[in-house]
C-alpha cells in the first residue's frame, strides 16, 4: 500500500487527512473461513461467537446480491475488500493517551468539546477497533453499560448471546447483514437498567482510515422497562480513490414504556459505500425516535426499521438525505405493526442536486389484529436542478381494516417566485437557495442536537455553493 | 437623490405589458400610482426589482444617477431599493425572524448587535400591533392577509431603504391596520425614504401626507398624472372619466 501517495489525496471539508497510523494487525486475506477464524482468534473470542460468525459466512455465501435497488455487483468486488485493520494496540479509557494525530482529528470534529459539554459518554472507533470509550461515573454507578462489543462479548456473554443477530436482525436478512455477521468488529453495547433515564446523549464516532477497508461495527442498545436513552453516531473518512465499505448492524430493543432516540449523522466521503442494517423491536408503550442525516457517501442503502410488537408501541423516523454529484441514495423505513394501537410516523426529506439521485423506499406492514393502529408516511423531495432525480417506492401491506395508513409524497423544485422574493430581501441567489433548502429540512433539523443541526446546515450550504463538502 | 424611471417598455414572455412608462421619485417624497387590476402596476414594481418574469425591452432605471437595469435583484436591493409585495410567497420552514435578520444583515451595512436588533424589532412589533410570537411564524405560511401585509411592513421598517415601492399594502386591511400602515409610511417619509405607493383606493391616501404626484396607469401606460385631486377624481368616478378626457 503506497501510504505516501494516499496521504497526498486531498481530503475536503468533512473528510479528514489520511492518518499515518502504525497498524498493529491487518487481515488482508479474502473473505472465507480462514479470514473469519483469524478475526475471531485476534479477538480471543469464545467458541459460541466464532460459531455465529461461521454461520453468517455460510449465509453470506449462499445469498444473492440485493436485487431491488442499485446494481451492487458491478461496484463491489468482495475480493478487494480488506476485512480487518487494527490501528493501535490498546483500548484507551483516557483521552490523554490518544495519539496526537488522532486527537487533532477529534478536535477538528469537535468531539472532546462535545463530550465535556453535552454528552453522558462518548467513544471513537477507528477502522476495525474502538480506540476509546468513556461514560460518566454516575451513570456507571446506576448500572448503565456503555462499552464496545468485544468487551461485551467477554463481560456480558448472556446478554450478547441473547441479542447478537438473533431476533432483531438475522444474518438471513440480507447479504450484507450476513457479511457483517461473519466479519463484525467493534461497535457499541449499551444497556440501560429499568427506570434509569440517561439525560445526556451517548455518542460514538466512526472513522475509516485504512484504504479499501470494510468497517463492520455492531451496535446493540437495550433500553430496559421505563428507561430513556439517546444515542448519537457520527462518522468521517479521508477521500480515497478506491471504495471503502461501511456495513453496520444495529439492534435496538425498546422494552415496555422505554424511550430510545437514535441519531445518525452520516457524512462519509463519496468513496464510502454505506450499506447498513439497522432495526429496533419496540415493546408495549415503548417509543423509538430515529433521526438520520444522510449527507455523505457515494452510494447508500439505508432503511432503519422498527417492529412494533407491544400494544401502543410507537416509532418515528425522521430523515434528511442529500444527494449531490456522484451520490446515489436509497433511504426509507420499514415499520411492522404487530400489536393494537401502535403508531408510526415517517418523515423523509431529500435534497438532490448536480446529477445526484435520491429515492425513498419504505414499507408499512400492519398485521391482522393490530387494531386501531395508525401510520403516516410523508416523503418530500426537493430537486435543485434539472439533472437531478428522485423516486418514491412506498409499500403498504395492511391486513387489519381497523387501522389507518396515510402516504403523501411531493417532488418540488425551487420556484423562481420564491427565489425572487428572497433576493428582493437582499439575499444572493445561492443564499436564497440555501434558505429555501434549510426551510425544507427544518422539520427534521429541529429534532437534531443543536450542534449537529448547525453542522448539517453548514454542510448543506457548502454543497449548495458547489464546493462539495463531503469529498 | 432620485429614482428615475425613463421610457420603460416591458414584456412578459411575448406579451407587452408596459408602454414607455416614465416617473421619478425623490427621497422623502410620496408618489402614488393608481390604476385598475391588470393595468401593469405590479409589473412595474417587480420590473424595478429585476423580476425574472419580465424583460425590459427599452428604457432605463437610474438609482441616484446609476443605471440598475443590469443588476441582479439582490444588488438593486443592496443599493437602496425595496419592494413590499402585494402577494408575498410562502417560505416553509423559515421564520419571520430568520428572514428579517438575513435581510437586515445583507442589505444594511449597519453594525447592530443581536441585542440591539431584537430591541429594534420588538418596538416595530408593538408599533404594528403584533405579538412577539409573530417572529416565529413561518414566512407567509398560515398567515391571514392582514398578517402578510404586516410582515412585509415589518421588514420594510427594519430595513429602511432609500426608495420603497409598496404594492397595495392596504388591500384587505381593517381600518385599524390601515391606519398603522399609513403611520408607518409617514414615519418612513419623515426619515428620508422615498415612497412609491401603489393602490386602488384613496382610503389610505387620506391617512397620508399629501402626495407629490399621483399617476394613473391604464393598459400599461401612464395616462394622467397630477396632484392629490387626481386620486379624488378616481375615487369619485373610477377610471372611466380618464378615457373620456
Are A386 and A419 in contact by the 8 Å Cβ rule? The answer is: no
Give yes or no for A448 touching B (CB within 8 A): no
Residue A12 has what pLDDT? 39
Residue A467 has what pLDDT? 47
The boundaries of the domain holding residue B177 are 2-89+163-243
Give yes or no for A440 touching B (CB within 8 A): yes
Mapped onto helix, strand or coil, the DSSP state of residue A209 is coil
Give yes or no for A441 touching B (CB within 8 A): yes
Contact list, A438 vs chain B (CB under 8 Å): 93-94
pLDDT tens track for A79-88: 899 999 998 7
Report the distance separating Cα A158 and Cα A244, nearest Å: 33
Query: Residue A53: pLDDT above 70?
Result: yes
Q: How confident is the model at residue A7 (pLDDT cuts 50, 70, 90)?
A: very low
The verdict on residue B105 lying in a domain is no
Give yes or no for B58 touching A (CB within 8 A): no
If one compares A115 and B170, the residue with the highest pLDDT of the two is B170
The verdict on residue B124 lying in a domain is no
Phi, psi at residue A93, to the nearest 5°?
A: -95, -25
Give yes or no for A418 touching B (CB within 8 A): yes
The verdict on residue B24 lying in a domain is yes
Contact list, A424 vs chain B (CB under 8 Å): 49, 73-74, 77, 82-83, 85
**Mean pLDDT of successive 10-residue segments in chain B (245 residues)?**
96 95 97 94 98 97 97 97 97 95 89 84 96 96 95 97 97 94 97 96 93 96 93 84 62
Residue A194 burial (CB < 10 Å; 0-12/13-18/19+)? middle
ipTM: 0.97
Nearest to A293 by CA among A466, A130, A464, A449: A449
Contact list, A417 vs chain B (CB under 8 Å): 89
Residue A94 has what pLDDT? 61
How many beta carbons lie within 10 A of that of residue B138, not counting itself?
Answer: 18
Query: Residue A135: pLDDT above 60?
Result: yes
Report the distance separating Cα A62 and Cα B232, nearest Å: 88
pLDDT tens track for B28-58: 999 999 999 999 999 999 999 999 999 999 9
- Of the candidates A420, A422, A426, the beta carbon closest to that of B51 is on A420
The verdict on residue B99 lying in a domain is no
The verdict on residue B185 lying in a domain is yes
Mapped onto helix, strand or coil, the DSSP state of residue B175 is helix
How far does A355 lie from chain B, in Å, by closest CA? Answer: 25
Give yes or no for B56 touching A (CB within 8 A): no
Q: How many domains does chain B have?
A: 1
Within the 98-117 window of chain B, which residues sit less than 8 Å (CB to CB) from chain A? 98-99, 102-103, 106-107
Q: Residue B59 sits in a domain of what CATH number?
A: 3.40.50.300
Q: Which contacts qualify for B63-71: CB closer than 8 Å, 24 or more apart? A: B63/B3, B63/B162, B63/B163, B64/B1, B64/B2, B64/B3, B64/B162, B65/B2
The verdict on residue B188 lying in a domain is yes
Mapped onto helix, strand or coil, the DSSP state of residue A343 is strand
The string of DSSP letters for A35-68 reads HHHHHHHHTT--HHHHHHHHHHHHHHHHSPPP-S
E strand or H helix at A8: helix A3-8
Residue A466 has what pLDDT? 63
> For residue B8, what are the β-bridge partners?
B21
Q: Can you tell me the mean pLDDT for A383-391? A: 92
Residue A39 burial (CB < 10 Å; 0-12/13-18/19+)? buried
Contact list, B103 vs chain A (CB under 8 Å): 425-427
Mapped onto helix, strand or coil, the DSSP state of residue B28 is coil
Residue A91 has what pLDDT? 65
Query: Residue A458: pLDDT above 90?
Result: no
DSSP label of A92: B
Give yes or no for A64 touching B (CB within 8 A): no
pLDDT tens track for A285-325: 999 999 999 989 999 999 999 999 999 999 999 999 999 99
The verdict on residue B122 lying in a domain is no
Residue A89 has what pLDDT? 67
Are A64 and A175 in contact by the 8 Å Cβ rule? The answer is: yes
Residue A9 has what pLDDT? 32
How many beta carbons lie within 10 A of that of residue B64, not counting itself?
Answer: 14
Nearest to B225 by CA among B210, B215, B237: B215
Query: Residue A3: pLDDT above 50?
Result: no
Residue B211 burial (CB < 10 Å; 0-12/13-18/19+)? buried
The verdict on residue B115 lying in a domain is no
Amino acid at each position: 500500500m503506497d501510504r505516501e501517495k494516499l496521504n497526498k489525496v486531498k481530503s475536503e471539508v468533512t473528510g479528514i487527512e489520511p492518518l499515518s497510523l502504525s497498524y498493529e494487525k491487518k487481515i488482508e486475506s479474502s473473505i472465507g473461513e480462514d479470514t473469519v477464524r483469524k478475526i475471531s482468534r485476534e479477538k480471543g473470542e469464545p467458541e459460541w461467537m466464532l460459531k455465529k460468525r461461521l454461520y453468517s459466512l455460510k449465509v453470506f455465501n449462499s445469498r444473492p446480491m440485493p436485487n431491488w435497488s442499485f446494481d451492487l455487483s458491478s461496484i463491489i468486488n468482495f475480493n478487494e475488500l480488506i476485512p480487518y485493520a487494527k490501528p493501535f494496540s490498546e483500548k484507551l479509557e483516557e483521552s490523554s493517551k490518544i495519539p496526537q494525530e488522532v486527537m487533532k482529528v477529534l478536535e477538528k470534529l469537535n468531539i472532546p468539546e462535545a463530550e465535556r459539554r453535552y454528552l453522558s459518554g462518548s467513544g471513537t472507533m477507528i477502522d476495525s477497533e474502538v480506540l476509546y470509550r468513556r461514560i460518566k461515573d454516575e451513570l456507571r454507578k446506576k448500572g448503565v453499560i456503555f462499552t464496545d462489543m468485544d468487551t461485551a462479548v467477554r463481560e456480558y456473554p448472556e446478554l450478547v448471546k441473547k441479542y447478537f443477530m438473533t431476533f432483531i436482525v438475522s444474518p438471513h436478512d440480507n447479504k450484507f447483514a450476513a457479511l457483517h455477521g461473519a466479519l463484525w468488529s467493534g461497535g457499541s453495547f449499551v444497556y440501560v437498567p429499568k427506570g434509569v433515564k440517561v439525560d445526556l446523549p451517548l455518542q460514538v464516532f466512526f472513522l475509516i482510515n485504512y484504504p479499501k477497508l470494510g468497517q463492520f461495527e455492531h451496535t446493540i442498545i437495550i433500553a430496559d422497562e421505563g428507561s430513556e436513552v439517546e444515542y448519537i453516531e457520527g462518522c468521517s473518512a479521508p477521500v480515497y480513490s478506491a471504495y471503502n465499505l461501511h456495513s453496520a448492524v444495529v439492534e435496538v430493543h425498546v422494552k415496555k414504556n422505554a424511550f430510545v432516540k437514535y441519531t445518525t449523522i452520516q457524512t462519509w466521503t463519496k468513496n464510502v459505500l454505506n450499506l447498513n442494517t439497522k432495526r429496533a423491536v419496540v415493546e408495549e408503550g415503548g417509543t423509538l425516535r430515529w433521526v438520520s442525516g444522510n449527507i455523505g457517501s457515494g452510494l447508500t442503502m439505508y432503511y432503519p426499521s422498527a417492529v412494533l410488537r407491544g400494544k401502543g408501541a410507537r416509532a418515528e423516523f425522521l430523515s434528511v438525505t442529500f444527494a449531490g454529484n456522484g451520490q446515489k441514495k436509497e433511504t426509507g423505513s420499514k415499520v411492522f405493526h404487530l400489536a393494537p394501537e401502535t403508531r408510526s410516523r415517517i418523515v423523509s426529506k431529500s435534497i438532490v442536486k448536480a446529477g445526484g439521485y435520491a429515492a425513498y423506499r419504505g414499507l408499512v406492514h400492519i398485521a391482522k389484529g393490530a387494531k386501531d393502529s395508525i401510520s403516516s408516511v410523508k416523503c418530500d423531495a426537493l430537486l435543485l436542478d434539472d439533472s437531478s432525480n428522485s423516486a418514491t417506492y412506498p409499500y403498504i401491506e395492511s391486513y387489519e381494516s381497523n387501522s389507518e395508513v396515510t402516504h403523501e409524497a411531493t417532488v418540488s423544485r425551487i420556484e423562481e417566485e420564491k427565489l425572487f422574493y428572497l433576493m428582493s430581501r437582499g439575499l444572493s441567489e445561492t443564499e436564497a437557495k440555501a434558505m429555501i433548502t434549510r426551510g425544507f429540512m427544518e422539520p427534521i433539523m429541529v429534532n437534531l442536537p443543536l450542534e449537529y443541526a448547525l453542522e448539517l446546515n453548514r454542510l448543506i450550504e457548502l454543497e449548495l455553493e458547489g464546493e462539495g463538502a463531503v469529498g | 437623490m432620485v429614482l428615475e424611471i425613463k421610457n420603460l417598455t416591458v414584456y412578459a414572455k411575448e406579451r407587452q405589458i408596459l408602454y414607455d412608462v416614465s416617473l421619478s421619485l425623490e427621497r422623502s417624497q410620496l408618489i402614488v400610482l393608481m390604476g385598475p387590476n391588470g393595468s401593469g402596476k405590479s409589473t412595474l414594481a417587480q420590473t424595478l426589482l429585476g423580476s425574472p418574469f419580465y424583460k425590459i425591452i427599452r428604457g432605463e432605471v437610474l438609482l441616484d444617477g446609476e443605471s440598475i437595469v443590469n443588476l441582479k435583484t439582490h444588488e438593486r436591493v443592496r443599493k437602496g431599493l425595496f419592494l413590499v409585495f402585494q402577494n408575498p410567497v410562502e417560505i416553509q420552514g423559515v421564520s419571520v425572524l430568520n428572514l428579517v435578520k438575513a435581510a437586515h444583515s445583507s442589505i444594511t451595512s449597519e453594525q447592530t448587535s443581536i441585542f440591539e436588533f431584537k430591541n429594534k424589532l420588538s418596538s416595530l412589533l408593538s408599533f404594528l400591533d403584533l405579538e412577539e410570537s409573530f417572529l416565529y411564524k413561518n414566512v407567509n405560511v398560515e398567515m391571514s392577509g392582514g398578517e402578510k401585509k404586516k410582515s412585509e411592513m415589518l421588514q420594510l421598517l427594519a430595513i429602511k431603504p432609500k426608495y420603497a415601492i409598496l404594492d397595495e399594502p392596504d388591500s384587505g386591511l381593517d381600518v385599524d391596520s390601515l391606519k398603522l400602515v399609513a403611520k408607518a409610511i409617514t414615519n418612513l417619509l419623515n426619515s428620508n425614504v422615498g415612497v412609491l405607493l401603489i393602490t386602488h383606493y384613496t382610503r389610505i391616501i387620506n391617512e397620508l401626507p399629501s402626495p407629490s404626484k399621483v399617476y394613473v396607469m391604464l393598459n400599461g401606460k401612464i395616462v394622467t398624472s397630477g396632484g392629490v385631486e387626481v386620486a379624488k377624481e378616481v375615487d369619485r368616478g373610477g377610471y372611466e372619466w380618464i378615457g373620456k378626457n
